[in-house]
């Protein structure tokens, strides 16, 4: 796993063996009752941070490096009445077949309990198979509805949204610019397509390329090159990261980082670590973010983060929490 902060330590390991099958666990693992959900920051504080971000972005427009987008996140601390089993959580996240599930150890945490990162992410950062390289960034989101008519309306509204299409274009352009020097051929559709998960609609673009020197570039190196994209940080990257540090007030850790694998031949797949939780003993911390661009509405961005919490909350046995 790669942390959000590029200067922080990675968490990488060499497994003793690899299995070419989908690992699963028996059903019936204990799922403790959730005693408390604590938003950090609160919804009101998050909306205030979005307002400050918009003001700072407008003020930057006359400078040498104007900030066009910043992604602000918030977290949700979960307290169980017993140990939260990350393996059971991983199993229960399979309810969304459109996402890639992951579970990785992060080392010893408070009280000697193992910290683990567990989630089900819909976003491919970079994959490599021989000379072929792929990325499928997602940016621009809307919460899904259980009502079929409202759900379709939300999807079409997202697809037609100028604000969300501008936000998405920043991500695609940044990834194309970074990959271009490594590729002899690089292509992407002229516009985004709708991508759905169980709880959210997203705008997505599939980027494909062929590497100049595939033997000299691994999937892990491509992930490190692209990470963090404007989908989870902003644009320009360094300036957006500084704004995030000033406004969020907490360390993202491995949220909005990357998780994946690379084999001995350099092939592999790395995903953006979204829809995830860091578990340790009887606690878990969930994260969700929203892209802020000109035209963003603080309340709507808070609603978006609330929707993104739902996938992991459901897997924890919490239905439609208002956070």
Tens of pLDDT, residues 177-215: 999 999 999 999 999 999 999 889 999 999 999 999 999
For residue 21, the model assigns a pLDDT of 64
SS3 234: strand
Which parts of the chain register pLDDT below 50? 28
Closest CA to 248 of 43, 57, 72: 72
| Parallel/antiparallel/unpaired status of strands 124-129 and 114-121 | unpaired
- CA–CA gap between residue 270 and residue 227 (Å, rounded): 10
Half-sphere exposure of 292 (CA within 13 A, CB side): 31
For the chain, give every domain's residue range: 34-315
Question: With contact defined as beta carbons under 8 Å apart, do 258 and 107 qualify?
Answer: no
Query: Over the range 129-162, which residues count as b (16 or more CB within 10 Å of their CB) and which as e?
Result: eebebbbbbbbbbbbbeeeeeebeebbeebbebe
pLDDT at position 56 is 96
Per-residue pLDDT at 167: 92
Give the SS3 label for residue 29: coil
Catalytic residues: 69, 123
Q: What fold, for 34-315? A: Anthranilate synthase (3.60.120)
Alpha helical stretches, state H, 180-276:
219-226, 237-248
Residues 6+ apart with CB under 8 A from 85: 29, 30, 31
Phi and psi at 151, nearest 5°, equal -65, -45
């Amino acid at each position: 796993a790669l942390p959000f902060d590029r200067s922080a330590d990675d968490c990488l390991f060499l497994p003793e063996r690899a299995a070419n099958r989908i690992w699963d666990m028996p059903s019936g693992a204990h799922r403790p009752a959730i005693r408390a959900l604590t938003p950090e920051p609160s919804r009101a504080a998050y909306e205030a941070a979005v307002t400050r971000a918009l003001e700072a972005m407008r003020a930057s427009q006359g400078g040498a490096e104007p900030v066009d987008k910043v992604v602000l996140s918030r977290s949700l601390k979960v307290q169980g009445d017993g140990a939260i089993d990350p393996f059971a959580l991983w199993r229960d996240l399979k309810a969304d077949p459109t996402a890639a599930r992951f579970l990785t150890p992060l080392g010893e945490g408070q009280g000697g309990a193992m910290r683990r990162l567990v989630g089900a992410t819909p976003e491919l950062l970079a994959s490599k198979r021989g000379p072929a390289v792929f990325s499928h960034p997602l940016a621009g989101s809307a919460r899904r509805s259980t009502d079929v008519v409202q759900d379709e309306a939300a999807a079409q509204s997202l697809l037609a949204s100028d604000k969300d299409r501008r936000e998405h274009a920043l991500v695609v352009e940044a990834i194309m610019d970074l990959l271009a020097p490594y590729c002899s051929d690089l292509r992407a559709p002229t516009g985004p397509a709708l991508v759905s998960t169980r709880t959210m609609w997203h705008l997505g673009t599939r980027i494909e390329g062929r590497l100049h020197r595939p033997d000299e570039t691994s999937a892990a190196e491509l992930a490190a090159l692209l990470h963090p994209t404007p989908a989870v940080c902003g644009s320009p990257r360094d300036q957006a990261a500084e704004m995030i540090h000033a406004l969020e007030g907490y360390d993202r850790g491995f949220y909005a980082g990357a998780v994946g694998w690379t084999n001995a031949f350099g092939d592999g797949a790395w995903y953006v670590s979204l829809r995830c939780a860091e578990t340790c003993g009887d606690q878990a911390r969930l994260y969700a973010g929203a892209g802020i661009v000109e035209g963003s509405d603080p309340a709507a961005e808070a609603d978006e983060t609330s929707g993104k919490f739902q996938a992991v909350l459901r897997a924890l046995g919490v239905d439609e929490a208002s956070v």
